[in-house]
Amino acid sequence: MSMRDAFASTMDEAMAVDPRLALVLADISVDRVRPVQRRHPNRVINVGIREQLLVGVAGGLALSGMRPVVHTFASFLVERPFEQVKLDLGHQGVGAVLVSSGASYDMSYAGRTHQSPGDVALMDSLPGWTVHVPGHPAEARRLLCESLPGDSSVYLRLSEAVNAEPFIGVGFQALRRGSAGVVLAVGPMLDRVLAATATLDVTVLYASTVRPFDAAGLRAAVDASSANVVLVEPYLAGTSAHQVAEALDDRPHRLRSLGVRRDREVRIYGGMADHDVAHGLDEQGIAASVRAFLGR
């Protein structure tokens, strides 16, 4: 089961018991939720290929007292209607659960138009958003279930890239302890980070929630190891660098940020693994970067 499948089945269960929930779509994934739409025709809304309206409708639903869950590809959910996210939700003082799929380059063959490595950085420019980056469908389901009650603003970033096992926990979880530094693996980056650092004496932290940023967890890990931090994020490199700087603002530290490269647009097709290599986010690329940073 993919994260998208987990999303559809979880919404089916949740909408059956919570009459506040409304699911808003813009043609993407409509086929996956047909049965839900048949059961709740007034609460599953497909606006067609109209992404500004997708988010505007979510804002209106929230203003009327409903709890909107909004879904399409990340590029069309965050980038194209970004002003609607900023104004129709945040500025109105209402929340929504935005659930994207496609991530940075899940649609590796589709080219730049369907790739959204800047989504978390964009959401990070707005106040008050929780950002979840699950690494496994079971995590996606758990994080979605946590997000549905209340009125908070949540961005849930689904991906085809997954780890072998889910890690259900709160805050940054230490999966390995070492003395030479701390490697923070976000969501789908975990398995390759564990493999890349298998022979290194480093602490590996895992995060499926990046906003709020678990500053206390990072500080504790650094205090028990060394103030050499490597961020490994599946979106734009350095998206969380400012959070690391704030978390360690009273500790001399070094930081290396790995992620989707900022210096140029990678104009290739091919598979996700090809893009991993192009961005240095494959196991070998991560291993080389961490070793170079730690001088080992």
Partner 1 sequence: MTTTATGYHELPRLIGLMTGDEKHAAAATSTVDVLWVLYDRVLDISPRKIGDPRRDRFLLSKGHGPMAYYAVLAAKGFIREADLLGWAGVESKLGMHPDRVRVPGVEISSGSLGHGLGLAIGEVYGLRAQRIGARVVVLVGDAELDEGSNHEAIALAGREGMAALTAVVVDNRSASHGWPGGIGRRFEVEGWTARTVDGRDHEALYEAFTAPHPGRPLAVIAEVEAKN
List residues near partner 1 by CB under 8 A.
19, 22, 42-43, 45, 47-48, 50, 52-53, 55-66, 68, 83-84, 87-88, 91-93
Nearest by Cα to 208 from 166, 250, 237, 180 = 166
- CB nearer to partner 1: give 6 or 55: 55
- The minimum distance between CB 98 and partner 1, in angstroms, equals 14
Q: Which residues pair with 100 in a beta bridge?
A: 72, 157
Amino acid symbol at 279 = H
- The minimum distance between CB 51 and partner 1, in angstroms, equals 8
- CB nearer to partner 1: give 48 or 271: 48
- CB nearer to partner 1: give 63 or 227: 63
Q: Is 153 helix (H, G, I), strand (E, B) or coil?
A: strand
- CB nearer to partner 1: give 19 or 169: 19
Q: Where are the alpha helices (DSSP H) in the chain?
A: 3-17, 34-39, 51-63, 74, 82-84, 119-123, 137-147, 190-196, 215-224, 241-247, 272-278, 283-294
- The minimum distance between CB 230 and partner 1, in angstroms, equals 40
For tokens 């659930």, name the residue: 99
Q: Helix, strand, coil: what percent of the chain each, to 5?
A: 40, 20, 40
Q: How far is CA 134 from CA 2, 20, 62, 233, 249, in A?
A: 12, 25, 25, 12, 28
- CB nearer to partner 1: give 65 or 295: 65
- CB nearer to partner 1: give 70 or 278: 70
- The minimum distance between CB 58 and partner 1, in angstroms, equals 6
Nearest by Cα to 226 from 203, 204, 199 = 203
Answer positive or negative: Cα dihedral of 122, 125, 126, 131: positive
- The minimum distance between CB 13 and partner 1, in angstroms, equals 18
Q: Is 41 helix (H, G, I), strand (E, B) or coil?
A: coil
Q: How far apart are CA 63 and CA 40, in angstroms?
A: 20
- The minimum distance between CB 63 and partner 1, in angstroms, equals 6
- The minimum distance between CB 53 and partner 1, in angstroms, equals 4
- CB nearer to partner 1: give 15 or 121: 15
Q: Which residues pair with 184 in a beta bridge?
A: 205, 231
Look up residue 137 and give its two tokens: 């469908």
- CB nearer to partner 1: give 85 or 231: 85
Helix axes 3-17, 137-147, angle to 10 degrees: 30
- The minimum distance between CB 270 and partner 1, in angstroms, equals 34
